[in-house]
Amino acid sequence: MTWPAPATLDALKSILEARPAFEGVTVFTGPPGDDAKYTDAVALFGAEGEEEPITLSGDSVGDTFVVFGSIFARKAGAGEAITKAARDRASELLEEFEAVVIEDRTLGGVVMTAELSALDLNQGIEPQVRWAEIRFQIACGAAS
């Protein structure tokens, strides 16, 4: 049995990098780290899930898992207008990310179904930088 979560991270990275809306957006299949230099990014942190029998004999096993990730947008400057610009950019990237999942719920055939299932907005400041982060979860189902 091969757990499909790692292949799902790879598929998402490939799909996002191929979309014009993500040109210039760095896509990570793990935490970007404190030393990563980016303006806009998507980080696919990992997954959590379980196997479930899908036949009475237990011969076939299905997987359900959740992919965890974040969309980051950073804008140089200070003040409310820059904070809003960072938040707006993160929201714009989220809309494109949602479109990816809606257009192909199999994520290129890697899973049977994928659905954006949770969102959380965080904002912050650094010296002369404002940032927004939208954390997300993608609920996935796959047969293995």
Per-residue pLDDT reduced to its tens digit, 11-28: 999 999 999 999 999 999
128 vs 125: CA distance, rounded Å: 8
Encoded tokens for 53 = 């029998």
Confidence label for 82 from pLDDT (cuts 50, 70 and 90): very high
pLDDT at 98 over 60: yes
pLDDT at 60 over 70: no
Partnered with residue 130 across adjacent β-strands are 75, 125
Question: Helix, strand or coil for residue 12?
Answer: helix
- Number of structural domains the chain divides into: 1
> For the chain, give me the number of helices (H) and strands (E)?
2, 5
Q: What's 72's domain CATH number? A: 3.30.70
Residue 6 half-sphere exposure toward CB, CA atoms < 13 A: 2
96 vs 25: CA distance, rounded Å: 12
> pTM, whole model, 2 decimals?
0.88
Q: What residue numbers bound the domain in which 26 lies?
A: 5-143
